Each structure stands twice: as structure tokens, then as C-alpha cells.
Structure 1
Amino acid sequence: MSLPESKSQSILPTWVDSALFKGMLRGIERESLRMQSNGFLSQADHPKSLGSALTHPHITTDYSEALMEFITPPKETIPEALSYLADIHAYVHRHLENDEKLWPLSMPCMLDDKEENIRLAQYGRSNIGQFKTLYRRGLGVRYGRRMQTISGVHYNVSFPDQVFEALQQHETDEALKALSLQDYRSHRYFGLIRNFIRLTPLVMFLVGASPSVCKCFMTGREHQLLPLVKGTLFLPYATALRMGRFGYQNSAQKQLGIHYNNLCGYLDGLQKAVHTPYTPFSRLGLNDENGQPIQINDHVLQIENEYYSLVRPKQVPKDGETPSEALAKRGVGYVELRAVDVNPYSPIGINENTAAFLEVLALYCLFTESPDLLEHEQEIIEKNQNEVVNRGRAPNATIQGLHEAQPIEAWALQHVTAMQPLADLLDQTYATDIYRQAMKVMLERIDEVDETLSAQVIQDTLRQNGTWSFGSVMAHQHASSYEQHVLSAETLAYFDGLTDSSLQEQQTLENDSDIGFDEYLARFR
């Protein structure tokens, strides 16, 4: 039975005890562009007062020099994770220069006509630093730099081993009972991943917040978007254009055949992609006319991170390990939920309701039956995703199951209602009510589509007369909240220390190189 179909019975086994989930961890990665006071993308270097983007554990950059990424460590509760993220934002705000602000939307602030003015992130003179910049140059050559200015939120979740031990004890399949705990844990996480893919349209519908874009983002691209107000394009019922064909897409990856039915198959698919040349990328060449490298290689993926996916199985790599090697050796340690738009109304891009909803959803995906995801169902899921991205708030929007279509509200209501016992379970675990409150908010959005974030963004973009005006108003509001956020002397000293130690670590890497970058790259290739 596939997840898009109706579910009636409770999926929560009677033996499950809330104490099992003590030890759950969550971490958040939030991206945000630095915006100049005139509304355009920053052209300035990453502030040195924030340390080295190469080696700082919590404050770094993603694709461009202006695309900041804030990373919390794993935390035991949602309030702790959000509080840590708020500390990072407040600290960063104090170190932004020239009246720059953090742009609050997933889709970018104003970009000029020249793609080369989207500066690649710079990581210094070390071989690994130059390699990271070259990877980004390759992304720009392959997909265009504009695509890489989109921001998102990645939500990382792990369940404690006692959950998997209890699940395995209650298995009736002897083969599953015979697995090592590591292999069984990976097996269950892959079940979660398949179900999350099936339910991604629910995430887009309930927390999608990118229904419109600044016209500058579409420069030189064919599209069917409509004018909303001057300088802003949209689709009338869109929810998350970031997740559609104008967002993170890679046509080469469509034919990879990477599947999530088991860890071995996933890793084999990734390795094949990293080692298989792709003719359109070969035609781009490896070097420019001056002999300078423009991409790491001409393969379907330059490195594993280039694989754009809705959700990733993850394991913390040790020194020198690739993500795949870490997974192969130690199995899945946590999942990264990546289909989450930045919430423009939250100063930190995500609030308690979204975080709690994602955790309940992850638990629902873990406990719900999860058959292999085969090509036929994958095609249906992709159609559902496109439907919700482009017209999820339409009165006649539908979700296609394996056997029948349903109105999106009926489909969403079934799943969110079925999640309620899991929300109650997590509230018991943490002696809180944030999970139940989050589900209440999601039910309100299903009941009244104008309560969704995407509908609110459209209303406020109209009220403020454009994407830039709306984003600018929110950026200034958020800046005020960062200024009012109290950072303790201990927290300030901690982040100041990370600034110094990260710069020292980068310097050490630069001094330690015993071969030049050309040789380093040649060895990698």
C-alpha cells in the first residue's frame, strides 16, 4: 500500500512508549543572502570578523560569497535548536558591514543582468579551499549562477537507537530480525526517506513560501510566470516555486536511476554518477581558454553533494571520508529533510510550528508502511509535486494516488489527522504541547488555504507593491529583532573564539600544502 492512498487505522503500535524518544536529536541549516542597502546582492567579501567560511563549524557560505549558511549542532529539543540558531543570526548581524541585511526569502533579492556579478564563494589558497570554489564554478557553468542564489532550510533529524532496537524486536520478518542494529537502522531510515518523498507535496503545501519571484531571477529564461506587480512574477496558486523547474533542478540527474530502496543501491547509484562522463558537460570543457579549470570533471556529478534531492540519508564523516564512505562504513545516522522553504516571517527562517510539524512527519514516515519506490510510483509523485508547486492552492488541485485522485485538502487532512497520535506522543516525551499546537496550525492551513505561508506571501507582496519591497520590510524587521536579541558574555566569547580558531585553522591548511593545486586536481581527476 502506498502512502498517497487513504489511511484509516492508527499507525502507532500499542507497545510504543513516549520514553523511547528521549534522545532524539535535531539540527538546522539555514541559508540567507547578504543584501546591500540598495536591494541588490552583496558584492563584498564574507566578513573576516565572522571567521573562515572554510573551517567555521556554524557560520559559512554556500554557493556564492554572499550566500550565508548557519548551522546548529544537534540539539535535544526544538527550543534549544531554535535558540542556538537565533544566537547565530544575532551574532552575524552585529558583524555585517556597510548596512547589509540578511534577505528573508527563499527566492533571491535583486540580481543584475550579469551572472558573473554573482561572486563564487572563496575559501582561501589551500587546495581544499580552491577545490570548493572550483566545484561552485562548475555548478555555475552547468546550471547557471542564478539558480544557486536560492535559499532553503535543511532540517536534520535522528532517532535514538532504542527506537530501532524496539522496532526490530517487534519485526515478524526473520531476515529483518537477523540484521545488525546498524543495518536495521539504515533499513528503517530508508523507509522513512521513501515516505518523505511520497509526502513532499504535503510539505510544499503547508510550509511552502516561494509562490513568486523577482523578475530579475528569470533573466534570459523562458517561463510561463505571470506579472503580479511591477518587478514580480508569480503563478496564482503556487506554493513553492523553489522546488519546481525554476528552482534546484538537474536534468542530467533524472536519468541516474538513484533509488532509495536500500543503502547499497543508493550508494551504487551515487558512485556511478560521480564516475560517469556526461556528454553535455564534456562539451563545456574542463578548462577555459586560459587553461584555468572551470569544473572538477565532466561527470554527471562533480562530487556527491551535487546530487539535488528532497531528502538525504546522512552519517557524520570522519577526516578524509566522503559522505558515501561514511554511510557505507557506519550506516545512516540521521536524515536531512531538504524540501523546506525559508519562512520570511521568522527572523531565523523557521519557527516552532514548522520544526514540530517536520518532526511529527518524520516519525509518521518512520512508522508507516513503506514499500519500495518503483518507477511508476515515482512518476506519480513527481506529477503530484509539480501540481502542488505550481497550483497547490487552486480550488481543484488534486493529488494522484496509485488508484485514484483526491482533492488536495482531503488528502492532506487524512495524513495530518493520522499524525495526531504521534504529535501527542512527542508532547509526552518532552512534557510540552508544541507538537499538538503545530498540528493545529497545519489543520487551519488545510481548512483555509489563505492561511498558508504561500498565500500570505502573495498578499504581502501585493500590499508592499513588489518582492523587493516586501523582502526589504521583513529584512528590516528581522534586523531589529537581532538587535534586541540578548547575547550573553559567554556566548559572545564562544563565537569570538570560533572566529579566531577558524582563521588559524585555515592558515594552517594553507601552510601545510605540499603540492600545488594543479597537481591536487589532477590526482582527484
Structure 2
Amino acid sequence: MIPDVSQALSWLESHPDSIRGIKRGIERETLRVKPDGLLATTRHPMCFGSPLTHQWITTDFAEALLELITPVDDDIDHLLEFLGDLHRHVSRQLGKELMWPMSMPCKMHPNQKIQLAQYGSSYIGQMKTHYRQGLKNRYGASMQIIAGVHYNFSLPLSFWKSWAGVCDAENGKEIISAGYLQMIRNYYRLGWVIPYLFGASPAICSSFMQGQASALPLEYSENGMFFLPHATSLRLSNMGYLNRSPSDLDITFNNFEDYIISLKKAMQTPSKEFAAMGVKDKNGNWIQLNTNILQIENELYIPIRPKRVTRCREAQSDALQRRGIEYVEVRSLDVNPFSPIGVSSEQIRFLDMFLIWCAIADAPKIDSIGLLSIRKNWDVIITEGRKYGQTVHIDCRTTQYPVSKVGKSLLYDLKRIAKILDSLNTNPKYQKVCQDLQKFFEDPDLTYSGRLLPMLKSNGVSNTGLALAWQYKDKLSHESLKVLESHHFINEARRSRISQKELEAADAQSQKFGATDTIYHW
């Protein structure tokens, strides 16, 4: 049913130190909303510093869409406390505004204008806004303000040395990259367990639809929302934060070199649809960065992406090609409405175990047809995952298996990984997660979406979200900082503003970069 990893698990049990020092990072998106729950129309607060250069507090698509970013960390508790401090600081500084606690947007007025994120007059700042203009024109602004949580994960070099015989990161970049692609292929095959367990967007506010029809058989409730009775994550559905499947772009994850080639091809191949829009309007205003299928790599909206820290003006694909895959970015997490900071230690620990499992399990190659079959599993779970007796296909086989059976089989393996991780930290936290999540596969109503939907049916999306937003604002605003201090935020805001001014001055001095081929190098 799922790959037999017993031998790999036995190896891991005899090499527990190989997974000591896992590196993690979190990026949490959240909309700023007014006290009445409507989308905020104010600019990004100046007190936070420059969103272009701030290390921790920035914006994503829109001025109202905050993004809170942690540094890389090897301690889960410290990581979450750092993220908590970002939320505590933001809560205090927002005045009467609130952070929206769910992925799908808050209530919006019809045809409400969504102001694109602004990053100043530097070349890189303008290009970031022009890129967002392209996203707006290609996919619509409403889709772009759907929020999520991104989890960045990397295995320590000690794992690759023991598991794959790598000497060092530079000389072993091909082997390490192949290992991460194996992880990604397994994530595609079984990663639908993430929205099953943690999906938290089974419904949307009717204002999000703005009178448009959906291909999904949505039901309407009198409190002003659309929903699917067994959905887990409408955010990941075709009406959410996805543009096209990798199979549509002929992007696969079987070979590192092929992945880079196909990604670059998507950024260099004109799209008839986007070419018809043009690059600038008759007044010289940007419509999009270019007319290619992807403006830049970030436009590829997929559940998990291979990543590499980039250098100044270096494209992500170039960084990957030169130095290999450094970590993976998991993009399947909805904002957790049951957590004031949008994510919980339970989720992080499950992802740790699952990604380790994905790294050690055999992962046959997946062609474009296989990716389509895999996508069907994801679609089933996203729209009907909590239906009792729901089944999925495994590796394009005709036989269907109950979700509960597949989930319990996976957890059987994860429990062995949990014991290893717990032995490194002398506490049973990972094993506790396995015990708790076992119940989710036995009773779909215990999943995040299963618990959230009754609340939404009773009170509606707007009222539920607003109540949680006020509850979390009160809690966070009154909590003391745990790992940071106030002067850290003051100093970082000042540093970010100075850094932006230096960029703008340098660009003015060099009369900016005008060549169109430079837009990829930021």
C-alpha cells in the first residue's frame, strides 16, 4: 500500500544522531483587518520599518497582507516563541486593527480595491511591485490575498554523510539535491495527509466569490458563506492559491538538471494568454514583468518547492543550479485558526516526521501522467476528504484504499521516527503527536476542518474570524516577549529603513538597471 521502509527505519534507529540538528523556518501570512472585520485599507505601518529589507516583518502581495518570518532555527520551542514574539509585537503596534486568523480572506466590499505592496523607488522595490501587478492581472487580486503558512525544512549534513556517503555540501550537492527530490516525490504521493489533518478552509465568505460561479458544488448558508460539507482546504483547490499543475508546465522532480531546465523554460516561454495582455499599458504603466508562462520562479504555486538561499540579485533557479537544493519549502499548510500564531508545535512535529519518512522511503520516478493521477488524490482530499470511507489511489493503481487505512499505516512508520526524535530530546512530544493524530484518521470530525466547519455554520466566516481575531489580539498584546526585547524591534526597523534608502541611493547613482533581462536577478 505504501512503501516498505522497515530497513530504512532500522538504519535510522541505529544512526539517531544523523538527524540531530534539523533546521526549520516559518513564514506566516495574515491579513490586517479593521475592527469590524473588513479588510484594512491603510498602508503597511511605518513603525515596522521597511517591508523591503526587514528581516522578520514584511508584506506579501498586498499592503494589508503581512508576512512574519522567523530566522532558521534547530529548536522547535524557540522557533515558535520567536514567531510568537513577532505576533506579540505586531498586535501591540496595530492599534485597533487585527490579524485575520484564517487562510481565506475576510469580508470585503464589492469591487474593493486591494492596494499592491509597495517597496520604494529602488530597482528591486519597483520590480517586486510590478511582479505583484502581474499576479493581479493574471489571476485576480482576491486570490492573491489568501494566506498560508510556509514551513522551511532541511536535514543536517550529518544525515547526508551517513545516509548517502556525502563528504561535504559542495562536493555532494548532486547527491543531496537528488535526495531532496526523492523527498518531494514522496511528498507529492502522500502529502495529501497534510490538508486532511490540518486543512482549515472548508468554507469561504460569499464576498470572496464576488458573484462569480465556481466549478465546485458549493453549498450556501444563510450566514453568508459557501462551503463543502466534507472539504478540508478550499485554499488548495482550483478556486484557491494555485495556478497550474507542474504537469501542465512539464515540470517533474525526477532529475535535478531536468527540474532546473523545465523551470527556466517556463520563465522563458511566452504565453499566448499573457502576451495578449502586454507588458505595459499605453501610459507606460506596468501590466506584468513579462509575458512568459511564469514571470519568476515564485509564481509556481505548488505544494512543496526545492529552495536555496540566494545571493544579491541572484535568481532562485540560478542559485539552485550553482549550489544545489538546500531545503524544501512546504506550502500546504492553511493558517491554523486554533493557534494565535497560525501554526502549532503539533503540526511542526508531524511535518518533521513525515519529511524524514519522505527522505528515506523509496520514490520511483513520476511522469506528467503520474502527477495528474496524484493531483486527483489531492483534489479528493481537499474537497471531500472528511467523507467517511473516503478512498485514494496509491501510485496510479486501480485499487483504492481507505484514507484511514493509509493514514494509520503511515503513522505506524512515523511512530518509529518519533521514538528516535524523542530520544534526542529526552521527551515524548513526537510520540504524543502520533497518538493524537491517530484519532484524526479514526474520526474525520476531529481534524482541523472537521472542528472548524460547525463553528462557521453557526456563526459564519466573518463573525467566527472576527471573534478569534479579537481573542488572539487581547492574548498576544498582554503577553510579555519571550526571546526578543523591544529594542530588537526598534533597531531592526531602523536598520531596514536605512538599508532601503541605501539601495535607492545606489540605484539613483547608477541610473538604475533598465535591461529587461535583469528582472530575474532579484
Q: Scaled by the length of structure 1, what TM-score is found? A: 0.94
The aligned counterpart of 1:292 is 285
CA contact (8 A) 1:353 1:441 kept: no
Q: Give the AA of the match of 2:139.
A: Y
CA contact (8 A) 2:85 2:482 kept: no
The aligned counterpart of 1:152 is 148
CA contact (8 A) 1:120 1:133 kept: yes
CA contact (8 A) 1:7 1:415 kept: no
Moved more, 509-518 or 404-413: 509-518
Moved more, 494-503 or 9-18: 9-18
CA contact (8 A) 1:107 1:151 kept: yes
The aligned counterpart of 1:396 is 389
CA contact (8 A) 2:245 2:302 kept: no
The verdict on how the C-alpha distance between 1:491 and 1:474 changes in structure 2, with shifts beyond 3 A counting, is same
The verdict on how the C-alpha distance between 1:297 and 1:150 changes in structure 2, with shifts beyond 3 A counting, is same
* 1:429-456 deviation per Cα after TM superposition (whole angstroms, max 9, x unaligned): 2222221111112111111111110011
The aligned counterpart of 1:211 is 202
In the TM superposition, what are the counterparts of 1:262-411 in structure 2 within 5 Å? 262-401=255-394, 402-403=396-397, 404-411=399-406
Structure 2 CA distance for aligned equivalents of residues 193 and 67 of structure 1: 28
Q: Give the AA of the match of 2:65.
A: L
Q: Give the AA of the match of 1:362.
A: L
CA contact (8 A) 1:26 1:157 kept: yes
Give the unaligned 5+ runs of structure 2: none
In the TM superposition, what are the counterparts of 1:135-174 in structure 2 within 5 Å? 135-169=131-165
Q: Look up the SS of the partner of 2:485 in the other structure.
A: helix
The aligned counterpart of 1:201 is 192
Instruction: Answer yes or no: is 1:497 the counterpart of 2:491.
Output: yes
Moved more, 305-314 or 252-261: 252-261
Structure 1 CA distance for aligned equivalents of residues 297 and 277 of structure 2: 20
Moved more, 41-50 or 286-295: 286-295
The aligned counterpart of 1:173 is none
CA contact (8 A) 2:27 2:150 kept: yes
The aligned counterpart of 2:34 is 36
Structure 1 CA distance for aligned equivalents of residues 447 and 515 of structure 2: 49
Deviation (angstroms), 1:324: 1.2
Q: Scaled by the length of structure 2, what TM-score is found? A: 0.94
The verdict on how the C-alpha distance between 1:460 and 1:313 changes in structure 2, with shifts beyond 3 A counting, is same
**2:219 paired residue among 223, 226, 231:** 226
Structure 2 CA distance for aligned equivalents of residues 24 and 65 of structure 1: 33
**1:432 paired residue among 417, 424, 427:** 427
**2:414 paired residue among 407, 416, 419:** 419
The verdict on how the C-alpha distance between 1:281 and 1:360 changes in structure 2, with shifts beyond 3 A counting, is same
Instruction: Answer yes or no: is 1:448 the counterpart of 2:443.
Output: yes
CA contact (8 A) 1:34 1:66 kept: yes
The verdict on how the C-alpha distance between 1:6 and 1:20 changes in structure 2, with shifts beyond 3 A counting, is closer
Q: Look up the SS of the partner of 1:284 in the other structure.
A: coil
The aligned counterpart of 2:475 is 481
The verdict on how the C-alpha distance between 1:254 and 1:262 changes in structure 2, with shifts beyond 3 A counting, is closer
Give the unaligned 5+ runs of structure 1: 171-175
The verdict on how the C-alpha distance between 1:252 and 1:458 changes in structure 2, with shifts beyond 3 A counting, is closer
Structure 1 CA distance for aligned equivalents of residues 178 and 134 of structure 2: 34
The aligned counterpart of 1:13 is 10
In the TM superposition, what are the counterparts of 1:112-151 in structure 2 within 5 Å? 112-115=109-112, 117-151=113-147
Structure 1 CA distance for aligned equivalents of residues 3 and 261 of structure 2: 34
Tell me the C-alpha RMSD between the 2 structures.
Answer: 2.1
Q: Give the AA of the match of 1:468.
A: S
CA contact (8 A) 2:101 2:342 kept: yes
**What is the percentage of aligned positions where both structures have the same residue?**
35
* Number of equivalences: 513
Structure 2 CA distance for aligned equivalents of residues 377 and 494 of structure 1: 49
